[in-house]
Structure 1
């Protein structure tokens, strides 16, 4: 066994799994999704641990697979597919929904959607890979495709059969929607664990270092403690405590953002809001921020327009939109920044809000992901990637409306909130 392999087998428990044990080992083991934790090394991913769901899905025990890769066990049906997955994961640091056929230990093939992310943790470079069995979904989609083709040709002759088939189709679609919701929830749990992993891991590392330094200092006190050594100890302790505080503050901010989703309409009550006055009052709360950022705001709303809705939820949504404009739209050297706010009543009695900034805008790939949790476009962007996700949940779930976005690079971003009159 190589020295690297020995290090994995003897020290992984204390050096790699300590943050996982404290934060997410229970989530890892209890997850219904098959998950594998590996080390990214030498162009491959030797396995460190798998959860029980993975063992059941592949029919391979954790003891059998530890320190090995898919190359050893050949659970990939096509090694060319494995090479493409490994290459992409090493080059970009993440792979999402890589659909591929794999093999159980007994040779049974099944279709999975594989996602993975590489993360640096101290001296370790780790990756967590998630395997979602989509064989049933694939088979159902094929059945639906065949059923639709059959109905197109037989609709005039078999009206009764068409009605039964449509009922079956609706039931199948409901199952697919529910499956999609569960998959989204699973991705969110993984995202939360990933986002909390770094700040809490840093805090634990810093706290451990401070503890070791203090014990060393305690041992030096009975002897001759020099001034320079004391200053050095104090400097190390200050740096470590700053890192601990930073990590914990980031974790608290993440948890606070998630708590915003838990909005209880029953405790708030519906309010009749005159939209023009409501927006004016909301802008007063952000006046200093707008002035310091030299952002010009224009409002075009009929003073008689009103809506019956939840005031606090709507304020939170607008807060998230203005935060997005400042953090992402107006980043860098951006002159003559502006925000346009319009609202009007539609023909079907709904009220539409238009919130448009003239920032840097979004390209098409990012545009389709802006409402996903933890999406930031790039790791260098500020925030935790939950702002627009929270706004979307509040609009669709609490306000019973829709939230859409239109944008193009250099053309700013336009958010359209369409809400019904709640009764």
Structure 2
């Protein structure tokens, strides 16, 4: 009767949960389950008060029917609670329930064994569903699992003692029969565990509802705030539109200025191209008379040597000595003519080399020597324009560099452009800062198994972060109009990436330094496609 009262109370509690939250249909099935079990214990409690045997038999059968059917309803409630699709196991329990009740009713000498066996199956299925829910990280499902585990163990122990050690069940422990100590918690632990779990869910739902109410209140406040902000925005709309018109006008003016600057740069680029052609023509014109000067200087030296060995020997001693003195002075003069003639010839050859288009043919080249040559060429070129300029040239060349297969004219253009930019940057910073600043340009080469690198670093003005991404774009330059075409780094990037399949990286900090790293792969084919040759 105590179990009857407890299950009736729990049935009322789950019914209240269902009425409060009809969406949770598991509470309805738990209500039916606890009500059925309460009915079972009610029938069992009144058996001793009934004298008629047929009524006692009917109450006894009703008790088992209610108990077993309640167990299947509990399984159904768990399927609903854990949102599990009902399988053949569920329908099999209904079938076994019918068979068990038939054996209980019409079987002779089986007593309550079919009911105990059926309740063990029901507890096992309940435990399986609960463990499955735990594996899906369902929170607090362990409470139900513990309740079903206790029920399963106690029912199995009860069935074992009833079958093999029945006198033990009649023994009393703490003035309570052993069978009561086993059956009481076996029936009560699952339903208490389920009630605790659902009570916890009810509390969480209530807390969630409070949170949602707070959110609704906050949303209402936000809506009022947004309405006020809209009023303020409407008041500021005219002013904002006027500012936008001014900004767009300024943007158009900047665009126009940029177009004008680009036009100036294009004009300057054409001038530079024409200057290159003019330089090549002048160099060709100078080459011919220069060849005559060099050739006749060589012939004059030979004639002077014949003169000293021939006619001069026949002169009288005083005249002979004077003639030797004049011949010596003339030989020194011719030697200087030869030296400066060959120097002028080298200058002309260099002008022709820089003005003519590259062949695009890869050659085995000493990269260290190429870097050193163009470094000094760029430095002396700047000093020719500004004799007061001076900078420290620091080189760190790889000793085991060897020869590299590349297009020397194209790589020379890249190096010359990088060196010119570096010297321009340190020159600009020298003009801006005090005498304590020391301009320096560093060149380093390194070779690995697959690549060679040339690093050009200066301690000049650096590149602003806002334009770093644009430096490889054609016609983009940070120099004033007339001092840069905006094509140097663009052509250099194409030479390195498209022709030599390498990379050109920049690392800079405004006002401190700029570092360009040219990385070229080693072992490419010796031929370059004609369409990739940059003239």
Same fold by TM-score greater than 0.5: no
Q: TM-score range, shorter-chain basis?
A: 0.3 to 0.5
TM-score normalised by the chain length of structure 1: 0.41
Higher strand share: 1
> Normalising by the residue count of structure 2, what TM-score does the alignment of the two structures yield?
0.33
Larger Rg: 2
Which has the larger share of helix? 2
